[in-house]
Structure 1
Amino acid sequence: MKKRAPHKGPARGKSSAPSRSGKAGPAGRLRIIGGRFKRRLLTVIEAPGLRPTPDRVRETLYNWLGFHVGGARVLDLFAGSGALGLEALSREAAQVTFVERESRVARALADNITTLSNEGPLPATVITADVIHWLQSGTPPEEGVDLVLLDPPFRLGLAAESCELLESRGWLKDGAMIYLEVEAELTPQVPANWQLHRESRAGDSHGRLYRRQQPA
């Protein structure tokens, strides 16, 4: 999900910043673009700052990732509608953990996973939590994760801290891929052992895919 909001709110589809009050409007739709659930349509609730990552951005990212997704352990942080992580789930990721602060948004994401699970259980977990606190206090899997989808609300200073915690707290295995999307004007601070693999601009956002190397 993306964020296009001004300084005080989440923007495009990530809603882990505090929401502003407002009545819910008509629901939107999310289309999965690849994998076993290709073309499936899911409901996206109306919530401040929430809208799915566009199809073309997801398609570009998963073209970059290629065969890295199948069998991967995945974190979708600031998950919002879960559009990025649902694509990984559709492409046979071994486990996808979604972390989303806003409880109503997290429940809607869990409902969509339940809908997809009608064809059989899926290796997905939705955690309602603040991402920074969860990274600080959580216990990383012993083997580390293979892929992180990191799309924090824009202009709230969350990108650098999230990246630092992923590295310092031992969440990542050697060779892990990290997709980071930030506002176009920001040059993100990432750990020195993250090597830039691909990057692309779309509107007011800049997506970068990094590969983690073993620290020297």
Structure 2
Amino acid sequence: MRIIAGRFRGTALAALGAGDAAAHLRPTSDRVRESLFNLILHADLGDVPEIEGARVLDLFAGTGALGLEALSRGAASAVFVDKGAKALGLLRENIGRLRVGEAARVLARDATRPGPNPGMPCDLVFLDPPYGKGLGERAIAAALEGGWIAPGALVVWEENTAPVPPAALTLLDARRYGDTMITLFRADR
């Protein structure tokens, strides 16, 4: 895995191999990540925030590849939420490789219970839960309730099937890449 574009383009991320099923790590492939960011940048999604200058929330962050890609492409900051020891180790290693310390904040906690947001809400949300467990629905509801998601924010949800979002999200687009379904939503104002 590597950063696809932006100021850290080509930087290799910590090696994980095919993933770690026991730790529920299933990294988004470079191809899917590139397609996802091309979709964000080039699809007609209406009035959603730009990546440049965005505050990012990466739920079920794993290695942090999605949030780090956003930082590479000009996001102002990223909050990474994961509770797995292996994921947190890889995430911290990747943050160190990119030297984005001040722009990156790691919360070692369950993404379905992030608690109240002590800062500004996020404009761009990545949600990549373990597939088929209903954790994405719980995490997005908790993030909305905790003030983590700004009105009008773009929510990028990666699952193996189309997710069932709360009423507070409006569907913008959905695309399938192999066994991965990327669904884009806008948080209602």
Question: If the length of structure 1 is used for normalisation, what is the TM-score?
Answer: 0.75
Where do residues 4-43 of structure 1 align in structure 2 (5 Å cutoff)?
30-43=1-14
Residue in 2 that maps onto 1:163? 140
**Is contact 1:51–1:81 with CA below 8 Å preserved after alignment?**
no
Percent identity for Structure 1 against Structure 2: 41
**Is contact 1:199–1:206 with CA below 8 Å preserved after alignment?**
yes
Question: Against the structure 1 CA distance between its residues 69 and 190, is the aligned structure 2 distance closer, same or farther, given a 3 Å change threshold?
Answer: same
Shift of 1:52: 2.4
Q: What is the CA–CA distance in structure 2 between the aligned matches of 1:132 and 1:192, rounded to whole Å?
A: 17
Match of 2:92 among 110, 128, 135: 110
Does 81-90 or 65-74 show the bigger shift? Answer: 65-74
Unaligned runs of 5+ in 2: 42-48
Question: If the length of structure 2 is used for normalisation, what is the TM-score?
Answer: 0.85
Residue in 2 that maps onto 1:139? 117
Residue in 1 that maps onto 2:109? 129
Structure 1 vs Structure 2 CA RMSD: 1.9
**Is contact 1:175–1:212 with CA below 8 Å preserved after alignment?**
yes
Shift of 1:51: 4.0
Q: What is the CA–CA distance in structure 1 between the aligned matches of 2:59 and 2:71, rounded to whole Å?
A: 14
Shift of 1:140: 4.7
**Is contact 1:167–1:191 with CA below 8 Å preserved after alignment?**
no
Which 4+ runs in 1 deviate beyond 6 A? Answer: none
Unaligned runs of 5+ in 1: 1-29
Residue identity matched to 1:155 = G
**Is contact 1:106–1:127 with CA below 8 Å preserved after alignment?**
no
Question: Against the structure 1 CA distance between its residues 158 and 71, is the aligned structure 2 distance closer, same or farther, given a 3 Å change threshold?
Answer: same
Match of 1:54 among 29, 50, 55: 29
**Is contact 2:95–2:101 with CA below 8 Å preserved after alignment?**
no
Q: What is the CA–CA distance in structure 1 between the aligned matches of 2:65 and 2:39, rounded to whole Å?
A: 17
Shift of 1:71: 0.6
Q: What is the CA–CA distance in structure 2 between the aligned matches of 1:39 and 1:129, rounded to whole Å?
A: 30
Question: Against the structure 1 CA distance between its residues 122 and 92, is the aligned structure 2 distance closer, same or farther, given a 3 Å change threshold?
Answer: farther
